[in-house]
């Protein structure tokens, strides 16, 4: 019961029957309600408008507008949907009850009225409508809160497959709730392709064994936007522990992620150049160490400092200095990242980390370093690339780097030590006149440098005419006639004297210089063949070694054709020696190149046979004429039974494939005889003659081997002096 005062609920009693109004009023007032009356539709509307009652008792039958119309009208008014309206209908008037609800009534009572209960009825209706109102409000608040927090709630009935999602979930996925429903498939479809598998696996696992789970992933909304979401859920299980029901929330955490990313960027990267900073670098170094341990490789730390950078800042201003640093960072990236130590050529995929530590100091970490040469190569490349002029705002600026290098694990195991040592080495580089690089350990310095210097010199050797060709005869046994000649390249080095091919050909292959060298040798030899043809009136076959690099560059056939044309020799005079590596790389070009060479009439020899992968199967595929047994087998033929068997097998193989066979590196009479006995009649080696200079070869050609008993070089030329081995 209400205590009747201004706060007591106000009930509007609307009936055209005055007596009923009075009776109802009395009953309600007795329960403490305040009561107002209305006699027709007009009065009801204006009383509702003026008084905003807490409850309306509304008679169905009234003059003018009936109760249904009035009810509808109130419901359409401002705040008219909240007020409870109880309609008074005739007993058993089912039609009216139905119509009352359709018009928006909250409840109904029947006439004749039970006045004793009407107060209780009023109380009940008001209470429940207030409860409903509160519920509505708190729901609205929840929706507001969810939308402010970008947080939606969902429930997943695993038994029926039904998913209930709050409005905000739809917002997060960019789906209009009216248009489609969120289902498990819709959710999984939205998950970012790169994360789908992981998310599905995480959910599957959680449903099997967890009581709750948290998933953070990226989704693509229906509008095609990428968002980051976080969902946390609790799994309910039935008595058999089967998951039946999952309740959770989902939150759009895109902004948080972006902020985190920004913070990470600020924390781990240098803002000017975008390069990692010291902290991230340290982190990467730890990973690099485990890699180095696993692969037994080294790590190179390069400390790069720009020479006289302060001057640029002071004279041209910081803005220009900043641009130089940005350009340096770019050049470092370009110069370092794509470097393959194996071919010593730039390629994709090799790992190097660059960081800016301070001002004009950059640190580079090279992973997968085999030796100091690798580090030296990169240092050289960086030096060359950074020393190129910089054009900043139209002004050309020269900045050179001084680089110090330390190596893990030889110089130290901790990053700080390695950086310190690289720093010391860098100062040493500055002392030595800047724009150079130095290793922390000086002894390594000279070896690595020697190699680089030699490489630089080799580049000029062709131009400076320092290369020449020597010729080693290939003998026909037992007649000791000259069956052919192999041309071998030599380098007359300004300081080191004559270097044989094995001293610089590998380096020339690494650097790619070999194609130029091979071209030169081919040309020189072809010219020589022509000269011999004219002079000796005798057909000599000369073999020239060609590197696999020529096949990679796909220039070989063209070069050979051009050279034959220029020197006017017959292709039959020329043999080309290739190694197994060329065939292993069995690509289309190799097959077609060999076929066209063969088609021209050039003979093809497979050099160093037995040392490579020796898959005999491939021999058939290529148009070869000759197999050359590698000198390592010949060397051991008398002492190592395996070698003898290998040679026997090679000879048998050559026969079955109808290939000619040449043994190289024959040094003794016994080797010669055994080889002959096995059926190898063509032999080459110091026993007959070392590679000879042109003059000595010509001498050899004229006089041949006179003493067939022991045709060792020292003896057969006794009348002209020994042929000088070259």
CA angle 388, 389, 393 (to 5 degrees): 145
Closest alpha carbon to 508 in 578, 469, 461, 555: 461
Taking the complex as a whole, how short is the minimal distance between the CB of residue 631 and Mg ion, in angstroms?
A: 6
Q: Which is nearer to ligand C2E, 74 or 517 (CB)?
A: 517
- Distance separating alpha carbons of residues 459 and 440, to the nearest angstrom: 28
Q: Which is nearer to ligand C2E, 105 or 663 (CB)?
A: 663
Q: Which is nearer to ligand C2E, 210 or 636 (CB)?
A: 636
Please count the other Cβ atoms lying within 10 Å of the Cβ belonging to residue 361.
Answer: 16
Taking the complex as a whole, how short is the minimal distance between the CB of residue 713 and ligand C2E, in angstroms?
A: 10
Task: Tell me the backbone φ, ψ of residue 386, rounded to 5 degrees.
Answer: -75, -25
Binding site for Mg ion (CB under 5 A): 545, 577, 607-608, 664
Task: Tell me the backbone φ, ψ of residue 178, rounded to 5 degrees.
Answer: -70, -30
Q: Which is nearer to Mg ion, 150 or 545 (CB)?
A: 545
Using rule CB under 6 A, residue 516 touches ligand C2E: no
- Distance separating alpha carbons of residues 44 and 36, to the nearest angstrom: 10
Q: Contacts with ligand C2E: how many residues (CB under 6 A)?
A: 24
Using rule CB under 6 A, residue 519 touches ligand C2E: no
Sole window of 161-169, 328-336, 398-406, 541-549 interacting with ligand C2E (rule: CB under 6 A): 541-549
Using rule CB under 6 A, residue 664 touches ligand C2E: yes
Using rule CB under 6 A, residue 546 touches ligand C2E: yes
Sole window of 111-119, 598-606, 685-693, 700-708 interacting with ligand C2E (rule: CB under 6 A): 685-693
- Distance separating alpha carbons of residues 54 and 34, to the nearest angstrom: 10
- Distance separating alpha carbons of residues 653 and 668, to the nearest angstrom: 25
Taking the complex as a whole, how short is the minimal distance between the CB of residue 609 and Mg ion, in angstroms?
A: 8
Using rule CB under 6 A, residue 171 touches ligand C2E: no
Which residue from 106, 528, 545, 683 is in contact with ligand C2E, where contact means CB under 6 A? 545
- Distance separating alpha carbons of residues 534 and 570, to the nearest angstrom: 13
Taking the complex as a whole, how short is the minimal distance between the CB of residue 427 and ligand C2E, in angstroms?
A: 42
Fill in the DSSP letter of residue 9: P
Using rule CB under 6 A, residue 547 touches ligand C2E: yes
The CA radius of gyration of the chain, in Å to the nearest whole number, is 48
Taking the complex as a whole, how short is the minimal distance between the CB of residue 584 and ligand C2E, in angstroms?
A: 16
Using CA atoms, how far residue 681 sits from 117, 475, 593, 661, in Å, is 131, 8, 29, 8
Two tokens, residue 404: 């110090």
* Per-residue exposure over 483-492, b if at least 16 CB sit within 10 Å of its own CB, e if not: bbbbbbbbbe
Q: Which does 711 bind (CB under 5 to 8 A by kind): Mg ion, ligand C2E, none?
A: none
Residues 492-511 that bind ligand C2E (CB under 6 A): 500-502, 505
Site string for ligand C2E, 21-40 (x = CB under 6 A): --------------------
Closest alpha carbon to 245 in 158, 164, 154: 158
Which residue from 417, 667, 681, 699 is in contact with ligand C2E, where contact means CB under 6 A? 667
Cis peptide before 115 (omega within 30 of 0): no
Which residue from 158, 386, 392, 489 is in contact with ligand C2E, where contact means CB under 6 A? 489
Using rule CB under 6 A, residue 577 touches ligand C2E: yes
Q: Which is nearer to Mg ion, 270 or 577 (CB)?
A: 577
- Distance separating alpha carbons of residues 289 and 302, to the nearest angstrom: 16
Residues 438-477 that bind ligand C2E (CB under 6 A): 472
Helix ranges (H only) for 471-587 are 501-511, 514-536, 549-552, 556-567, 580-584
- Distance separating alpha carbons of residues 293 and 349, to the nearest angstrom: 20
Which residue from 691, 696, 701, 723 is in contact with ligand C2E, where contact means CB under 6 A? 691
Using rule CB under 6 A, residue 711 touches ligand C2E: no
- Distance separating alpha carbons of residues 290 and 577, to the nearest angstrom: 44
Which residue from 518, 580, 660, 696 is in contact with ligand C2E, where contact means CB under 6 A? 518
Instruction: Point out which residues bind ligand C2E (CB under 6 A).
Output: 472, 488-489, 500-502, 505, 514, 518, 521, 545-547, 577, 607-608, 631, 664-667, 685-686, 691
């Amino acid at each position: 019961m209400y205590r009747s005062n201004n706060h007591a609920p106000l009930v509007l009693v609307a009936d055209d029957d005055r007596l009923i109004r009075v009776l109802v009023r009395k009953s309600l007032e007795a329960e403490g309600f305040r009561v107002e009356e209305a006699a027709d539709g007009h009065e009801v509307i204006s009383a509702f408008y003026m008084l905003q009652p807490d409850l309306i008792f509304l008679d169905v039958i009234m003059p003018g507008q009936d109760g249904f119309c009035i009810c509808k009208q109130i419901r359409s008014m401002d705040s008219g949907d909240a007020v409870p309206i109880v309609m008074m209908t005739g007993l058993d008037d089912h039609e009216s009850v139905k119509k009352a609800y359709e018009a928006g009534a909250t409840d109904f009572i029947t006439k004749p009225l039970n006045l004793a209960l009407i107060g209780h009825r009023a109380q009940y209706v008001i209470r429940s409508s207030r409860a409903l109102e509160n519920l509505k409000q708190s729901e609205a608040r929840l929706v507001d809160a969810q939308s402010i927090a970008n947080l939606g709630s969902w429930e997943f009935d695993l038994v029926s497959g039904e998913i209930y999602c709050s409005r905000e979930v739809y917002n997060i996925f960019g789906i209009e709730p009216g248009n489609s429903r969120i289902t498990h498939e819709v959710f999984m479809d939205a998950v970012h392709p790169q994360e789908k598998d992981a998310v599905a696996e995480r959910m599957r696992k959680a449903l099997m064994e967890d009581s709750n789970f948290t998933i953070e992933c990226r989704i693509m909304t229906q509008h095609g936007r990428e968002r980051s979401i976080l969902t946390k859920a609790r799994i309910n299980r039935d008595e058999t522990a089967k998951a039946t029901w999952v309740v959770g929330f989902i939150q759009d955490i895109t902004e948080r992620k972006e902020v985190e990313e920004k913070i990470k960027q600020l924390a781990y990267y240098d803002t000017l150049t975008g390069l990692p900073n010291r902290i991230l670098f340290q982190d990467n170094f730890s990973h690099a160490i485990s890699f180095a341990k696993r692969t037994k490789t080294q790590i190179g730390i390069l400390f790069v400092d720009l020479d006289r950078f302060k001057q640029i800042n002071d004279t041209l201003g910081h803005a220009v200095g900043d641009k130089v640093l940005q350009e340096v960072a770019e050049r470092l990236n370009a110069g370092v990242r794509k470097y393959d130590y194996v071919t010593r050529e730039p390629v994709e995929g090799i790992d190097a980390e660059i960081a800016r530590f301070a001002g004009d100091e950059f640190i580079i970490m090279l992973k997968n370093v085999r030796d100091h040469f690798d580090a030296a190569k990169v240092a050289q490349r960086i030096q060359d690339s950074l020393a190129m002029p910089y054009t900043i705002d139209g002004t050309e600026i020269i900045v050179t780097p001084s680089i110090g290098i330390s190596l893990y694990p030889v110089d130290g195991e901790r990053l700080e030590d390695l950086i310190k040592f690289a720093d010391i080495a860098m100062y040493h580089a500055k002392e030595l006149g800047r724009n150079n690089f130095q290793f922390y350990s000086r002894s390594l310095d000279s070896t690595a440098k020697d190699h680089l210097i030699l490489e630089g010199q080799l580049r000029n050797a062709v131009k400076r005419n320092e290369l020449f060709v020597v010729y080693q005869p290939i003998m026909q046994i037992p007649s000791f006639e000259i069956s052919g000649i192999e041309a071998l390249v030599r380098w007359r080095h300004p300081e080191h004297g004559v270097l044989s091919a094995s001293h610089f050909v590998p380096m020339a292959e690494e650097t790619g210089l070999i194609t130029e060298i091979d071209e030169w040798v081919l040309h020189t030899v072809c010219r020589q063949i022509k000269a011999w043809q004219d002079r000796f009136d005798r057909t000599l076959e000369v073999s020239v070694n060609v590197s696999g690099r020529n096949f990679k560059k796909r220039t070989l056939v063209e070069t050979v054709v051009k050279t034959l044309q220029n020197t006017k020799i017959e292709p039959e005079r020329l043999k080309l020696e290739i190694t197994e590596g060329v065939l292993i790389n069995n690509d289309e070009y190799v097959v077609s190149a060999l076929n066209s060479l063969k088609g021209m009439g050039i003979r093809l020899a497979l050099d160093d046979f037995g040392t490579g992968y020796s898959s005999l199967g491939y021999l058939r595929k290529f148009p070869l004429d000759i197999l050359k047994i590698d000198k390592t087998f010949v060397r051991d033929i008398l002492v190592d039974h395996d070698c003898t068997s290998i040679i026997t097998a090679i000879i048998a193989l050559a026969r079955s494939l109808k290939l000619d066979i040449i043994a190289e590196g024959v040094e003794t009479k016994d080797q010669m005889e055994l080889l002959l006995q096995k059926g190898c009649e063509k032999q080459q080696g110091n026993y007959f003659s070392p590679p000879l200079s042109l003059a000595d070869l010509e001498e050899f050609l004229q006089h041949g081997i006179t003493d067939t008993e022991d045709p060792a070089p020292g003896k057969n030329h006794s009348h002209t002096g020994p042929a000088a081995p070259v």
